[in-house]
């Protein structure tokens, strides 16, 4: 009885162990057996590669027939869900291939790795006549992202305030969907930014999944801009995506100088030997500061012009300063128009203003002339009275 009882317990334990073993084997996937059709081999040199999301892998697979008869093989590809694969040969997509006796053919297998994918190891399998024949391991080294990228090889350029700065940006759609991106530039007033795609001016651009578009960005700075470095943020946006690239514009200093009057009038009058004060305006019309601006005048003989001050130490871009010019005419100047040329000069640039000056006869000289004429007439009258009676 004892022996039977032990045997029953042993039998029960054996059944339990068998069930547990069966269950454990059920959750372990059976290994895939790779067996090519008899007399046919499949070969590609790179069976384990590392890639990033969105890449396309191209395999060149040699199919070799070592038999004495033609082999016709139906080909297919096993890949993870969401992956795209293609089999081509001779420029055509194929599903079947025929290989002559003791000969070989080459098949091209392309595999598109999805953009939205987890980092890890994946397997793609070439199948012939329904059986796996060539395993290919693909290691995705980065976590796939749902994003867009905006990049350029040359983000900064240098020129003057009159230059046009042209940048080529690459907009890449790293998503599995077609995206339409709105394009905009964040600039201050006065800047002009234009986007061009395929030779056409645009405000948006459509990019296919995994593809990229080249965008030409043309930047024109304001005409009255100071020398320096300026940042131009460029954005490409959809409802759910945004990509940004900051461009840099470096403006070299340009020199410009203008000499005039506050009213713009370049004419005046003066009495012979008299004095006239004029307000002269000196303006920096360039984008670089000017220093040691000297004022001078070219006058008729016997004339003189003095400036207060005669030197302007510094003048910033777009800044102006008024100077008093005191003009004195020659005492012997006769009535008429004269030319006085004034110059503002720095080592880099200069400007001239030509004034037309009309000389008038002094009132004192007019009175003297009247007195002389009266005296002459009086003397003549006296002579006529004296000698006319005789």
Buried b (16+ CB within 10 A) or exposed e, 128-161: beeebbbebebebeeebeeebebebeeeeeeeeb
Rounded Cα distance, 83 and 78, in Å: 10
Complete edge-to-edge strand list for the sheet that includes strand 257-260: 257-260, 275-284, 320-328, 304-308
The β-bridge relationship of strands 242-251 and 228-237 is antiparallel
Rounded Cα distance, 309 and 282, in Å: 12
Residue 385 has pLDDT above 80, yes or no: no
Rounded Cα distance, 242 and 234, in Å: 11
Residue 96 has pLDDT above 80, yes or no: yes
Structure tokens at 181: 């991106």
Residue 32: which pLDDT band, with cuts at 50, 70 and 90? low
Residue 8 has pLDDT above 70, yes or no: no
From the number of C-beta atoms within 10 Å of its C-beta (0-12, 13-18, 19+), residue 30 rates as: exposed
Residue 4 has pLDDT above 70, yes or no: no
C-beta separation of 155 from 232 below 8 A: no
* 138-153: pLDDT as tens digits: 999 988 778 899 999 9
Residue 388 has pLDDT above 70, yes or no: no
In this prediction, residue 14 carries a pLDDT of 38
Give me the mean pLDDT over the 180-190 stretch: 94
Topology of the domain comprising 257-364: Immunoglobulin-like (2.60.40)
Question: What sign does the dihedral 194-195-199-202 (CA atoms) show?
Answer: negative
Decide if domain 147-251 falls under CATH 2.60.40.1930. Answer: no
C-beta separation of 257 from 284 below 8 A: yes
In this prediction, residue 220 carries a pLDDT of 96
Tell me the C-alpha to C-alpha distance, in Å, between residue 72 and each of 96, 225, 338: 7, 74, 107
Rounded Cα distance, 187 and 16, in Å: 77
Averaged confidence pLDDT in the chain: 86
* 255-270: pLDDT as tens digits: 889 999 999 999 999 9
In this prediction, residue 53 carries a pLDDT of 84
| Closest residue by Cα to residue 146 from 171, 176, 183, 121 | 176
C-beta separation of 50 from 141 below 8 A: yes
Question: What sign does the dihedral 328-332-338-342 (CA atoms) show?
Answer: negative
State the architecture of 40-140 in CATH terms.
Sandwich (2.60)
* 268-301: pLDDT as tens digits: 999 988 999 999 999 998 888 899 999 999 999 9
* 294-347: pLDDT as tens digits: 999 999 999 999 999 999 999 998 899 999 999 999 988 888 899 999 999 998
C-beta separation of 247 from 167 below 8 A: yes
In this prediction, residue 177 carries a pLDDT of 84
In this prediction, residue 25 carries a pLDDT of 31
Give residue limits of the domains in the chain: 40-140, 147-251, 257-364
Rounded Cα distance, 10 and 306, in Å: 128
Residues in the chain, how many? 390
Q: For residue 334, how many other CB atoms are within 10 A of its CB?
A: 9
Rounded Cα distance, 211 and 205, in Å: 12
Give me the mean pLDDT over the 245-252 stretch: 94
Tell me the C-alpha to C-alpha distance, in Å, between residue 342 and each of 322, 325, 354: 14, 9, 6
Fold matches, 147-251 and 257-364: yes
């Amino acid at each position: 009885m004892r022996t039977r009882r032990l045997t029953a317990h042993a039998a029960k334990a054996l059944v339990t162990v068998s069930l547990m073993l069966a269950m454990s084997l059920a959750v372990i996937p059976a290994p895939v057996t790779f067996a090519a059709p008899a007399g046919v081999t499949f070969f590609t040199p790179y069976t384990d590669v590392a890639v990033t999301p969105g890449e396309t892998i191209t395999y060149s697979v040699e199919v070799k027939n070592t038999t004495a008869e033609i082999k016709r093989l139906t080909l297919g590809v096993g890949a993870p869900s969401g992956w795209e694969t293609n089999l081509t040969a001779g420029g055509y997509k194929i599903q079947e291939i025929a290989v002559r006796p003791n000969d070989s053919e080459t098949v091209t297998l392309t595999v598109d790795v999805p953009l939205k994918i987890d980092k890890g190891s994946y397997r793609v399998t070439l199948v012939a006549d329904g059986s796996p024949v060539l395993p290919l391991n693909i290691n995705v080294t980065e976590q796939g992202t749902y994003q867009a990228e905006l990049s350029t090889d040359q983000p900064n350029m240098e020129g003057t305030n009159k230059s046009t700065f042209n940048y080529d940006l690459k907009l890449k759609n790293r998503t599995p969907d077609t995206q339409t991106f709105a394009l905009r530039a964040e600039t201050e007033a006065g800047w002009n930014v234009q986007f061009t795609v395929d030779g056409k001016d645009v405000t948006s651009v459509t990019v296919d999944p995994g593809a990229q578009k080249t965008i030409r960005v043309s930047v024109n700075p304001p005409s009255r801009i100071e020398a320096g470095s300026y940042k131009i943020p460029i954005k490409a946006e959809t409802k759910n995506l945004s990509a940004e690239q900051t461009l840099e514009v470096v403006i070299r200093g340009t020199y410009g100088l203008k000499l005039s009057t506050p009213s713009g009038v370049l004419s005046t009058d003066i009495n012979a030997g008299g004095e006239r004060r004029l307000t002269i305006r000196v303006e920096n019309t360039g984008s670089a500061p000017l220093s040691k601006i000297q004022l001078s005048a070219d006058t008729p003989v016997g004339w003189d012009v003095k400036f207060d001050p005669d030197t302007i130490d510094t003048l910033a871009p777009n800044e102006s300063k008024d100077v008093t010019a005191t003009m004195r005419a020659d005492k012997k100047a006769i009535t008429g128009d004269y030319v006085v040329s004034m110059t503002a000069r720095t080592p880099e640039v200069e400007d001239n203003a030509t004034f037309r000056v009309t000389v008038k006869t002094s009132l004192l000289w007019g009175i003297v002339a009247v007195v002389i004429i009266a005296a002459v007439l009086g003397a003549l009258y006296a002579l006529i009275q004296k000698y006319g009676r005789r």
